[in-house]
Amino acid sequence: MTDPVALFDVWLAEAQASEPNDPNAMALATVDARGQPSVRMVLLKGHGPDGFVFYTNTQSRKASELAHAGRAGLLFHWKSLRRQVRVEGRITPVDEVDADAYFATRGRSSQLGAWASEQSRPLSGRAELEARLAEVTERFAGGDVPRPPHWSGYGVAPETIEFWEDGAHRLHNRRLFARTGEGWSEGLLNP
């Protein structure tokens, strides 16, 4: 298969059948203005040729780092399959219509949590967070919870996608796809 997005679809479907938890979990790597790297787990919420999409608080540390560097790396690790996929590329913001549509599919408690959490900022104690949650729960009682203005999505527009499979004698299989205009070039890497 020479289309890395189609190959990713196959691998993700196999992971969904074999991984016990969150086959859409991916490590998101960013870098701050000082060059300090940071990595955390997020959930893939959509993907295609234009990008791999996740959602977060746009005032969080990760969002600040994404805005600074304009680039990120992703890593999917499916232990049950002994496979990994690495994606590197430019950050593209999700448009407002798509962000609204995805937010509307989230459970009410997750929607309220997006309003209550000041993600990545210091917290004096759990009571502070619970008080904010109680306030937004009351504010939106009996109605829909709109998307907060500080919550949206980002896509990583892939420039490279690497597929790694465990191999005998640690001779792993590594296929690297690199964006070339509208298409992809493919090569192999040493394990």
In a domain, 83, yes or no: yes
β-pair partners for 156: 52, 91
Residue range(s) defining the domain that contains residue 52: 4-96+154-188
In a domain, 108, yes or no: no
- Kindly indicate the confidence band of residue 120, based on its pLDDT and cuts at 50, 70 and 90: confident
Cα–Cα distances (Å) from 56 to 78, 82, 111, 130, 181, in that order, read: 23, 29, 12, 20, 30
In a domain, 171, yes or no: yes
In a domain, 148, yes or no: no
Domain at 52, CATH number: 2.30.110.10
In a domain, 106, yes or no: no
The amino acid present at 153, given as its one-letter code, is: G
**Is 72 a residue whose pLDDT tops 80?**
yes
Residue positions annotated with a catalytic role: 170
In a domain, 115, yes or no: no
Integer Cα distance of 191 and 172 in angstroms: 5
In a domain, 123, yes or no: no
In a domain, 170, yes or no: yes
State whether residue 169 is helix, strand or coil.
helix
pLDDT tens-place string over residues 7-39: 999 999 999 999 989 999 999 999 999 999 999
What's the structural domain count of the chain? 1
Integer Cα distance of 132 and 44 in angstroms: 27
The alpha-carbon radius of gyration of the chain (Å, integer) is 19
